[in-house]
């Protein structure tokens, strides 16, 4: 029983970190129909900004997070205006080629500017160290990550399903021409949702930095995992991404706990099984 | 016309080693990509050697050519080595961060008449693949086995090993386990983790449940190390008094600023610490820091490269600049010198470097930086991995 709870807590924490980073990608891929392989790069940029703000400028953790999100969005605005706008609705191969190119550029720049070493984001005292849960201890920042994940999930669900912006976004995605003729300024809607996705990536990059440390190859290293989460959950579905993260986190953690010598065998076996039964992902929308 | 051709042919023939030749050394390593920092360290070590010893041996000038293999890629490594030998006419091959890259090149050496000086790749068996291989780095066996003795000395009865599931990790596990059990201890469990593991919390829970007094760990240096060490602290293993033991790859100097306080007190055994206290090392570190640019990036591959250059210089002196791999390798068998890491020698049998292995503890200096503090020396350690590899 103790083992069960122990695995459960770890799985929940890992799944939530995955969720915060991947949900932005789910938005770009599902709602905006852009296969954005530069998503990891934006998460990494967020991590670098937070690390710079907290370590070199001596700002608090909260400020570092805000600065990382805003800074990453500012960097992403010209990219959206001059590069991404050209590939909305373009064939997937074009999108993949352009965004992977952006990723390599970001990796090179990060390597040049910050060097190849690991960068950490110092945690405030409250989030450091273990918290005793009775049956085991868990890192305080993992509890914080779980909380952030829940907040992000609820906030996004509300934004997309319950606000007028969400209505406009879904309308623009389903039929751009019709939405525009009804007075929706689709360009602004697209730019805003791109900024939202990038901001979430940066937020996840900072919150998840304890598990996925920031270094130049971050942008590529974890991209496969993020893509797997989106395809299992169903692109564009927030509950889908949440279920996928928790499920995959649980399978990965259990496998690692009980039979580590099998590596990621069970993780990918589960992915194959799910995508076989649900080709659009667990809660994917029909096209 | 005929005379002219003859004269030209004669000029080519006789221009051998008589005067002012350029002797080329081809260095293969990861100079871009995720392991670029290790390649940078190769270059820093080589530049430091040339800066302190000059680029001339007699009348011959040394020229170093670099070729980039960003990740372990035996086919590319072999292709680049061939290109260096055939097109660039290098007399020496050196570098090689990854074992498979070095292994792929060994079949070329005899025919090419070129010695290979391995500056990092740490699997014991490489030196057995060709009589023209000399290694100036270390092996995982060499740096891991003394740790088992330390554990026993400190009264550890039951230990658990946790390694990444790949060649060097398995090497480290075997080295620790066999030595530890020979010394009368018991390894209660051996965990092999997939290389792509990001969350180490489940592993730490297993370590905790195993009831071991110490955990011996090996992971490739870099991002995973950080997560591993943090998970060790956060899962309360440090407070529970489970001693963290590892070979020094885990606390390489370029990772220490990121690890920070989390690494304090970790015991490692390794062949080189930048903090090593000797006049040779102070001179080396000064030159290498100048060469690498950012002092925080200096780490252990630089010293392997520095000593590799020393061996190559001795080979060139012995052969008078002529291409003769056998003579060159024979000349350095048994060669002993004072390296920045301490007294070292090339074992005439194995052509691997015999060196001191130090027990170190991660400590915080008075200026707030972290370093590997040497607290014990195992003198003149050969490579214990060669016997089981046979």
The answer to whether residue B164 neighbours chain A at the CB level (below 8 Å) is no
Q: What is the DSSP letter of B225?
A: H
Q: Do A118 and B223 touch (CB under 8 A)?
A: yes
Nearest to B234 among A130, A221, A253 (CB): A130
Q: Do B294 and A115 touch (CB under 8 A)?
A: yes
Q: Which regions of chain A are under pLDDT 50?
A: none
The answer to whether residue A213 neighbours chain B at the CB level (below 8 Å) is yes
B222 to chain A: which residues are within 8 Å by CB?
Answer: 118, 215
B165 to chain A: which residues are within 8 Å by CB?
Answer: 260-261, 263
pLDDT tier at B10, thresholds 50, 70, 90: low
B260 to chain A: which residues are within 8 Å by CB?
Answer: 120
The whole-angstrom distance between B227's CA and the closest CA on chain A is 6
Q: What is the DSSP letter of B21?
A: P
The answer to whether residue B36 neighbours chain A at the CB level (below 8 Å) is yes
Give the per-residue pLDDT at B2: 65
Residue B1 has pLDDT above 70, yes or no: no
The answer to whether residue B57 neighbours chain A at the CB level (below 8 Å) is no
| Cβ proximity of B136 and B113 under 8 Å | no
ipTM of this predicted structure: 0.72
Nearest to B258 among A119, A252, A256 (CB): A119
The answer to whether residue B227 neighbours chain A at the CB level (below 8 Å) is yes
A-interface mutation test, from B37, B190, B234, most A Cβ less than 10 A away: B234
Nearest to A213 among B196, B226, B234 (CB): B226
Q: Which of A109-113, A257-261, B56-60, B327-331 has the highest mean pLDDT?
A: B327-331
Residue B76 has pLDDT above 50, yes or no: yes
B33 to chain A: which residues are within 8 Å by CB?
Answer: 217
Residue B180 has pLDDT above 90, yes or no: yes
B169 to chain A: which residues are within 8 Å by CB?
Answer: none
A120 to chain B: which residues are within 8 Å by CB?
Answer: 226, 258, 260
Domains annotated on chain B, with CATH:
17-138+277-351 (3.40.50.2300), 141-270+357-389 (3.40.50.2300)
Give the per-residue pLDDT at B17: 44
B-interface mutation test, from A260, A265, A266, A268, most B Cβ less than 10 A away: A260
Q: Quick one: closest CA in B to A224, which residue?
A: B196
The whole-angstrom distance between B228's CA and the closest CA on chain A is 9
A142 to chain B: which residues are within 8 Å by CB?
Answer: 201, 234
Domains annotated on chain A, with CATH:
2-277 (1.10.3470)
Residue B359 has pLDDT above 50, yes or no: yes
The answer to whether residue B230 neighbours chain A at the CB level (below 8 Å) is yes
The whole-angstrom distance between B252's CA and the closest CA on chain A is 11
Counting residues of chain B whose pLDDT is more than 70, the rounded percentage is: 94
What is the pTM (predicted TM-score) of this model? 0.81
Nearest to B236 among A7, A119, A137 (CB): A137
The answer to whether residue B223 neighbours chain A at the CB level (below 8 Å) is yes
The answer to whether residue A8 neighbours chain B at the CB level (below 8 Å) is no
Residue B19 has pLDDT above 80, yes or no: no
Beta strand segments in B136-210, E: 158-164, 186-193
Residue B345 has pLDDT above 80, yes or no: yes
Q: Which of B126, B113, B137, B118 shows the shortest CA–CA distance to B327?
A: B113
Give the per-residue pLDDT at A264: 80
Average pLDDT, chain B: 89
The whole-angstrom distance between A254's CA and the closest CA on chain B is 8
pLDDT tens by residue, B270-299: 999 999 999 999 999 999 999 998 888 899
Query: Regarding predicted confidence, which is higher, B260 or B343?
Result: B343
Give the per-residue pLDDT at B376: 92
Q: Quick one: closest CA in B to A257, which residue?
A: B202
Give the per-residue pLDDT at B389: 45
Residue B16 has pLDDT above 50, yes or no: no
The answer to whether residue B222 neighbours chain A at the CB level (below 8 Å) is yes
Residue B18 has pLDDT above 50, yes or no: no
A215 to chain B: which residues are within 8 Å by CB?
Answer: 34, 222-223
C-alpha atoms less than 13 angstroms from C-alpha of A80 in its C-beta half-sphere: 23
User: Which residues contact residue B370 at a Cβ distance below 8 angstroms, ignoring those fewer than 6 apart?
Assistant: B256, B257, B259, B260, B263, B264, B362, B363, B364
B-interface mutation test, from A113, A146, A211, most B Cβ less than 10 A away: A211
Facing residues of A138 across strands? A131
Q: Do A118 and B294 touch (CB under 8 A)?
A: no
User: Which residues contact residue B133 at a Cβ distance below 8 angstroms, ignoring those fewer than 6 apart?
Assistant: B102, B106, B109, B115, B116, B118, B126, B127, B351
The answer to whether residue B16 neighbours chain A at the CB level (below 8 Å) is no
**Where is B201: in which H helix or E strand?**
helix B201-210
User: What string of H, E and C letters represents the secondary structure of chain A?
Assistant: CHHHHHHHHHHHHHHHHHHHHHHHHHHHHHHCCCCCCCHHHHHHHHHHHHHHHHHHCCCCHHHHHHHHHHHHHHHHHHHHHHHHHHHCCCCHHHHHHHHHHHHHHHHHHHHHHHCCCCECCCCCHHHCCEEECCCCEEEHHHHHHHHHHHHHHHHHHHHHHHCHHHHHHHHHHHCHHHHHHCCCCHHHHHHHHHHHHHHHHHHHHHHHHHCCCECCCHHHHCHHHHHHHHHHHCCCCHHHHHHHHHHHHHHHHHHHHHCHHHCCHHHHHHHHHHHHHCCCCCCCCCC
A-interface mutation test, from B32, B70, B201, most A Cβ less than 10 A away: B201
Give the per-residue pLDDT at B390: 41
């Amino acid at each position: 029983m103790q083992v069960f709870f122990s695995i459960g807590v770890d799985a929940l924490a890992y799944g939530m970190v995955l969720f915060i980073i991947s949900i932005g990608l789910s938005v770009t891929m599902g709602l905006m129909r852009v296969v954005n392989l530069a998503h990891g790069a934006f998460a990494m940029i967020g991590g670098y900004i937070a690390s710079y703000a907290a370590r070199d400028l001596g700002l608090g953790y909260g400020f570092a997070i805000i600065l990382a999100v805003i800074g990453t969005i500012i960097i992403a605005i010209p990219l959206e205006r001059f590069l991404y706008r050209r590939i909305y609705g373009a064939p997937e191969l074009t999108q993949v080629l352009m965004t992977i190119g952006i990723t390599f550029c970001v990796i090179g720049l990060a390597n040049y500017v910050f060097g190849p070493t690991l960068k950490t984001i110092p945690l405030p005292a409250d989030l450091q160290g273990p918290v005793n849960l009775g049956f085991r201890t868990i890192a305080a920042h993992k509890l914080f990550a779980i909380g952030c994940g829940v907040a992000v999930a609820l906030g996004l669900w509300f934004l997309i399903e319950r606000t007028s912006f969400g209505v406009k976004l879904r309308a623009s995605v389903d039929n751009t021409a019709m939405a525009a003729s009804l007075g929706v300024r689709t360009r602004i809607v697209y730019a805003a949702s791109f900024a939202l996705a990038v901001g979430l990536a940066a937020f996840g990059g900072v919150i998840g930095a304890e598990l996925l440390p920031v270094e130049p190859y971050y942008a590529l290293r974890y991209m496969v995992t993020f893509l797997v989460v989106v395809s299992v959950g169903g692109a564009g579905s927030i509950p889908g991404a949440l279920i996928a993260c928790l499920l995959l986190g649980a399978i990965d953690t259990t496998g690692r706990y009980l039979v580590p010598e099998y590596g990621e065998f069970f993780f990918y076996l589960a992915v194959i099984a799910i995508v076989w039964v649900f080709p659009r992902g667990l809660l994917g929308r029909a096209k | 016309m005929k005379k002219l051709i003859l004269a030209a042919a004669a000029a080519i023939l006789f221009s051998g080693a008589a005067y002012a030749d350029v002797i080329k050394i081809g260095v293969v390593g990861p100079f871009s990509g995720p392991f670029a920092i290790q390649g940078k360290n190769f270059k820093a070590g080589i530049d430091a050697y040339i800066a302190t010893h000059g680029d001339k041996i007699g009348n011959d000038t040394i020229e170093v050519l670099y070729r980039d293999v960003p990740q372990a890629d035996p086919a590319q490594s072999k292709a680049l080595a061939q290109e260096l030998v055939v097109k660039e006419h290098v007399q020496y091959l050196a570098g090689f961060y990854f074992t498979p890259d070095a292994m792929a090149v060994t079949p070329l050496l005899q025919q090419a008449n070129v010695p290979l000086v391995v500056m990092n790749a740490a699997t014991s068996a490489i030196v057995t693949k060709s009589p023209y291989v000399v290694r100036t780095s270390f092996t995982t066996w060499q740096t891991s086995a003394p740790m088992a003795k330390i554990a026993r000395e400190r009264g550890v009865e039951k230990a658990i090993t946790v390694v990444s599931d790949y060649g060097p990790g398995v090497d480290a596990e075997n080295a620790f386990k066999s030595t530890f059990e020979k010394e009368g201890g018991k390894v209660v469990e051996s965990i092999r983790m997939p290389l792509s593991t990001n969350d180490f919390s489940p592993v730490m829970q297993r370590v905790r449940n195993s009831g071991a007094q110490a955990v011996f760990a090996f992971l490739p240096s870099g991002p995973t190390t950080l997560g591993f060490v943090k998970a060790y602290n956060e899962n309360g293993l440090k407070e529970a008094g489970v001693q963290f033991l590892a070979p020094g790859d885990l606390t390489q100097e370029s990772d220490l600023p990121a690890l920070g306080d989390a690494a304090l007190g970790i015991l490692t055994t390794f062949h080189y610490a930048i903090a090593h206290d000797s006049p040779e090392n102070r001179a080396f570190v000064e030159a290498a820091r100048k060469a690498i640019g950012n002092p925080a990036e200096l780490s252990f591959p630089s010293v392997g490269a520095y000593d590799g250059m020393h061996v190559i210089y001795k080979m060139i002196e012995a052969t008078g600049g002529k291409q003769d791999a056998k003579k060159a390798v024979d000349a350095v068998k048994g060669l002993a010198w004072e390296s920045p890491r301490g007294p070292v020698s090339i074992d005439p049998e194995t052509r691997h470097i015999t060196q001191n292995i130090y027990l170190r503890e991660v400590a915080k200096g008075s200026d707030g930086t972290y370093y590997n503090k040497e607290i014990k020396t195992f003198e003149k350690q050969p490579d214990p991995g060669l016997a089981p590899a046979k």
